Amino acid sequence: EMLDEVLQGNMKAAKPKKLLTIGYCRVSSGHQKEDLQRQKDVVSRYCEVNGYQFKIIQDVGSSLNYKKKGLTELINMICKKQCERVVVNYQDRLVRFGFEMIETICQANDVELVVINQTDNVDPNSELVEDVLSIITVFSAKLYGKRSHRNARVIQESKKLFSQADSDKDSAQDS
């Protein structure tokens, strides 16, 4: 009977399932929790006003790090067609470089990419300066981070050596 109804055109087409809108929010460091909350508020309000069923994915990490947990989850959801839209407050909150690549992935999977606050009137020289400064900041942070880890290891090893030398000295005096 169902087949006959379909063949005769009497069967109503099933409504396509509404997919989620994903709000993506990111800050560079844990010290920016207030900014992360502001982003979540702005993106949530935007989604609510537009009547979207949404989920917020958040990350704390460099915009040059493409292995963040939230970004990986977002890209997987886009590629598996589990969302219909991605909303970000600013373009650089998604990624600093390679936005066009994310945009292409979205287009290939019929996912709309919405940037709430566009910065159209940015001077190209200012944008270049910002990009260079962000690269320098990330790499200097990595360099200083490596140094601080190395210094911590040196201090720890020195303490071991000194405590070992003290115990050897004490046992020599006891003999």
Express each pLDDT in 140-170 by its tens digit. Answer: 666 666 666 666 676 677 677 766 666 666 6
Examine the residue annotation and report whether 28 is marked as an active-site residue of this protein: yes
Least confident of 72-76, 109-113, 114-118, 171-175: 171-175
Domain with 143 in it:
122-175
Domain final residue pick, 115, 134, 165: 115
- Same domain? For 94 and 35 the reply is yes
140 and 86 co-located in one domain: no
My answer on whether 24 and 105 are in the same domain is: yes
pTM of the model: 0.65
pLDDT of residue 41: 96
Q: Do 34 and 111 belong to one domain? A: yes
Based on the fold, state whether residues 104 and 77 are members of the same structural domain: yes
Which is more confidently placed, 161 or 80? 80
Has residue 1 been placed in a domain? no
Q: Give the helix/strand (H/E) hosting 44.
A: helix 33-49
Tokens of 67: 């292995």
Burial 135-171 (b: 16+ CB within 10 A, else e): eeebeeeeeeeeeeeeeeeeeeeeeeeeeeeeeeeee
Q: What CATH code is carried by the domain that includes residue 84?
A: 3.40.50.1390
Domain count along the chain = 2
Is 148 found in the same domain as 105?
no
For residue 160, report the phi and psi dihedrals to the nearest 5 degrees.
-60, -45
In a domain, 12, yes or no: no
User: Looking at residues 43-67, what average pLDDT do you find?
Assistant: 90
Tokens of residue 89, six digits: 């407050």
**Pair (72, 99) in one structural domain:** yes
pLDDT band per the 50, 70, 90 thresholds, residue 30: confident
Please say which residue of 68, 91, 115 terminates a domain.
115
Residue scoring higher pLDDT (7 or 30) = 30
Query: How distant, in Å, are the alpha carbons of 55, 83, 118, 134 from that of 65?
Result: 22, 23, 22, 12
Cα separation of the two ends of the chain: 102
Residues 143 and 59 in one domain: no
